[in-house]
Amino acid sequence: MKTIATEQERLVWHTASEGVQLYQAAATSAAVEVLKAPALGLIAELHRRFDEERRALLKSRDRRQAAIDAGGLPGYLDPDSEAVAGDWRVAPIPSDLLRRRVEITGPANNAKMVINMLSRNAVGDRADTAMLDFEDSMKPTWQNVIAGVHNVKQAAEGTLTHIQPARNGSTESIYALDPDDAAVIMVRVRGLHLEESNLRIDGRPVAGGLMDLVLTMVHAAGPLITRGRTPKVYVPKCEHHIEARWWNQVFRAVQEGLGLPIGTLRATFLIETLPAAFQMEEILFEIRQHAAGLNVGRWDKIFSDIKVLRRHPDRVLADRASIGMERPWMRAYAQRLVQICHRRGALAIGGMAAFTPGKSERSRQQQTAKVLADKQLEASLGHDGCWVSHPYFIGAAMSAFERDNQTDIVDPDADLCPDLLPESTGPRTMMGLRTNLRVGIGYLEGWNRGLGCVAWDNLMEDLATLEISRAQTWQWLNHHVRLDDGSTVNEDLVRKIFDEELARIHHDIEHKLGPVSPEVVARVQATFSAAKEDAAKIFLHQELTPFLATASDLAEQTRVSTTEPLRRGY
């Protein structure tokens, strides 16, 4: 249904064509460049074909969640369906996607980071593939999205450069991509639930993921194909095989719109929700024409475990830091993904090593040992590759994977229907609660500055880990969890710890900023004080809403509004 704009809205919306409006502040020269034909027309065409169904799929999510809140549990589907019982395999995987031992990820909007992800690190190690992200590691401000599209385009062409100006006594630095020695480019688009507020068709905002897909395919598919590379996307947050069917239909329509053969585009779906963990085979079946693999998105999976089973008192999870792949339900989920992918001819990609290099040699050695142990475990389970968040750890991760892939590892006796429901175990500690709240402050301080990932306490915290932190705090609050030291989690305790962690952060700022004026210290501290207030409102919200945000800001907005947390978008 077409909405009627107010007179004030008409003044700030630019009508690009019949029924297509771009928020006036978003009509920058950089945006106009990436939206030129055929991009904007294809976005409008696909929105009109697919958005009604997308909205219906989101409503179906709500209905399924209501049934689980009422006492139900997610589970396996029909074992006799074609997806499970049929004799099928995914389309043969292109040769450039058969070696994905280490994939590095980061925000698409930061040109310097994109170049570093695609290039060799200081000791000569290079990831096989690099995922340029429009989702969890990038806040989807309009400026970031448009910058991300430009970076993807130039990376695909092999022309991406970045000039870092001289400052504080340093000299100017020039970063440039070597197109003949670069990782394979992949793009992660936004999830089904995220809308782009700055572009609306027939009165409704477009789906962020649809826009990301169209723009990056329009501008990067041709250059990639010319250079013998496969256009490749990652799809996050899928919850049901019918959603995978929707994406597959969109893939076909994009390729048809660009005159590309069906199957040119390839996709890896992140299996990072509890419902999807039960439907891996059905999801892979739906995308079999375009499949490159599935991925164990373990951080978002922990968030989903909490969110989906939030009303079940017998499924209250332990400290987030204690939930690793050795937990039975996490290990079963990873093993199931490996076996299903390999039986069907797809790659199985493991999870993220979220470290950022520590300041001391000792801390970096400890981190490297942990990364190596984690990746050796994933390799032993049969994964074909893994993720890292920082170039420093590429070498350690790569050493765990001795072959291009392990798709030949198939266990004919593997249990393909294991128990995937999380167990309610300890530890549940004061330190775990402190970590959740401290991450909330640190992450939202960066989010308020337009960042989607922040280096925090030697870890790369992105939206997934923020979501775990807020969901776990909500779960512990609402089930009145008694911590291992005897404390009961309640609102007073949460507020007290928020204040204590903010005081610690302020103390750290005073001692680590270096020789700067008291005014500068006070300004930095004020940004964390504001973030603490935002975090407290979000973490203490009465209802656990599905996501931190479901829509991007309008282009001229720069500050988070928490009067209606989790609904309006940030």
Active site residues: 188, 462
Q: Residue 410: helix, strand or coil by DSSP?
A: coil
Contacts of 10 (CB under 8 A, 6+ apart): none
Residue 161 has a CB neighbour count (10 Å cut-off) of 12
Q: What is the DSSP string of 369-387?
A: HHHHHHHHHHHHHT-SEEE
CA–centroid distance for 570 within its chain: 16
DSSP 8-state symbol, 221: I
On whether the CB atoms of residues 255 and 264 are closer than 8 A, the answer is yes
CB-based burial, 212-229: b 16+ in 10 Å, e otherwise: bbbbbbbbbbbbbeeeeb
**What sign does the dihedral 555-560-563-566 (CA atoms) show?**
positive
Residue 514 has a CB neighbour count (10 Å cut-off) of 6
As to burial, measured by CB atoms within 10 angstroms (0-12 exposed, 13-18 middle, 19+ buried), residue 67 is exposed
On whether the CB atoms of residues 557 and 197 are closer than 8 A, the answer is no
Contacts of 49 (CB under 8 A, 6+ apart): 253
Task: Tell me how far CA of residue 425 lies from CA of 232, 264, 321, 475, in angstroms.
Answer: 39, 46, 13, 14
61, HSE (Cβ side, Cα atoms, 13 Å): 24
| C-alpha closest to that of 144 among 157, 162, 132, 161 | 132
Token pair recorded at residue 66: 């209501």
| C-alpha closest to that of 109 among 136, 72, 140 | 140
